[in-house]
Structure 1
Amino acid sequence: MLKSIIAIFVGLISNVILSILFDTILKVLNILPYDHMFVATPIVLFVLGYRIIFSILGCYLTARLAPQNPMKHAYILGGIGLVLGITGVILAGHLGPWWYSWSLVILTPLIAYIGGKLYVSTEKSK
């Protein structure tokens, strides 16, 4: 049980840390403005893209560290991401275009599937 919790926690934290770190780097480089209210659509799509990649990586790590049932663990992390995404829509949906927050919510199950499957498929090919 503890190994499962650690696997999910590592996947979640890796996603959060990578997103915050990359956001900060882009802000320091003046690529991403500090005021999220006035961000152009191409920049929002770029942010969405790297956050999807980081989320897939987090689900992959969770699946890799899972003591058993890697897909189940990736889906649990996806469920946590779904709850956090819905919370983000409710509490912070005004920080960018309406579709940005909703796209993360809608894509989260697919992201969890892809992250878990990436690990499972690499294990099968060994």
Structure 2
Amino acid sequence: METEDCRVREVLDKVGDKWSVSVIGVLGRETRRFSEVKRAIPGISQRMLTVTLRALERDGLVTRTVYATVPPRVDYALTALGLTLLDSAWPLMNWALDHVGEIDKARDAYDRQRPEVPPQQP
């Protein structure tokens, strides 16, 4: 059981990281080019997007299709397994969108009450 717990934690760490969730959300149910994914995720570097897409591809969540054109065209899409993750992630992403204002207010109130403690970055 301990080994299974470790594996579950490993998977959750991978698919729940900041960039993976964003990529899964951006890909949604449509195929996108690398540049489209990058434009849709503010703050992600080209290198981090490449690393994230490779990891998601390795885990069987994303497919990468290369077209022999000039310049080369590369498309990314969710696999059937990736779509099941999307279905699970949408409620969490929607919850975050619905409550981000409340969380910001709570953080501001907390920081005002404890000015000596610098805020922690997630």
* TM-score of the two chains, using structure 2 as the length reference: 0.29
- Which structure has more strand as a fraction of its residues? 2
Greater radius of gyration (CA): 2
